[in-house]
Amino acid sequence: MYVNIILEKEPGLAILIINRPQAMNALNYDTLQEIKDAVRQISQDNGIKALIITGAGEKAFVAGADIAYMENLTAIQGREFGALGQSVFSSIENLPIPVIAAVNGFALGGGCELAMACDIRLVSEKARFGQPEVSLGITPGFGGTQRLARLIGAGPAKELIYTGMNIDANEAYRLGLANHIYPIDSLMDEARNMARKISGNAPLAVSMCKTAINKGMQADIDTGLAIEADVFGLCFSTRDQKEGMNAFLNKRKADFAGN
C-alpha cells in the first residue's frame, strides 16, 4: 500500500517505519502524505494502544526534509510544504494514544521535528539530533522553532537552531530531548517494552493524561489545573476507574476495557 513507509501492527501496538534508507529516510511530499494516511488509520483503530515511530536501517531516523525536493520551491510552495509537515506532525502529537520515537540514527531538521512531535524519545547510542536549517538558508519549518524551545528551554533551543550544530545522544539526554539511551541492537525491544507497559494501564486514563499535559503546556498554570480537574473528574464516569480501584482493593490484576 505504501512506498515510503511501512506500517506494522502487533497486538495493541503499531509500528510506523520511515522507509527511504537510500535517502537517509528524508521527508518529501509523498512521504508526508503517507505518514498522514497511516496516522489517520491508526487513530481509527481502537485496538492500538500505542505507536512507535522509527526509521529503516541504522544510519538515520529521519535525516531531514528532502533537500532535492525543496531546492526549487517558490515562497508559496515552501509555505505550503511547511504547513503540510506541521499538520502531519500535529496529527501525531494529537493522537489520543502515546507515541514513542525510537531514534536509531540521525534525527536532523524534519527528523528532529518528527521526534519532538512524539510523546517520548528513546534513542540509540548512535543518535544525532540537530536543526541545521540555517546552513541551508531556511528556518525550521515543521515545528522546530516551537517544540524545541518548549522541550529544552528557549536558550538552548536558540543555540542549537542559530548555530545549526548537531548533538550526540548524551547531550540530547542532558538537555531533556532524549528520555533514555540504549544500544542500537536493543532499541526496538526497549521501545516495545515501554509501549506494552503503557498499554497495560487504563487506556482512557493514559489518553486523558496526554490531553491534560499537552493542553496545559499551552496555557497558564490556573487554566492547566482546570483542565486537570476536568479530566480527573471524567475518569470517575468510566468502567476502568471502577475496575482499577476494585482490583487494587482486592489485590488482583486489573482488566481494563478502555471505557
Q: What residues are annotated to the active site?
A: 113, 133
Angle at CA 54, nearest 5°, toward 49 and 55?
Answer: 155
- Distance CA(128)–CA(61), nearest Å, equals 9
Mapped onto helix, strand or coil, the DSSP state of residue 4 is: coil
Q: H or E segment at 85?
A: helix 75-93
Residue 23: CB atoms within 10 Å: 19
The secondary structure of 173-186 as a DSSP string is HHHTS-SEEE-GGG
Please name which of 129, 109, 111, 114 lies closest in space to residue 169, comparing C-alpha atoms: 129
- Distance CA(214)–CA(227), nearest Å, equals 10
Single-letter code of the amino acid located at 122: L
Please name which of 104, 91, 97 lies closest in space to residue 32, comparing C-alpha atoms: 91
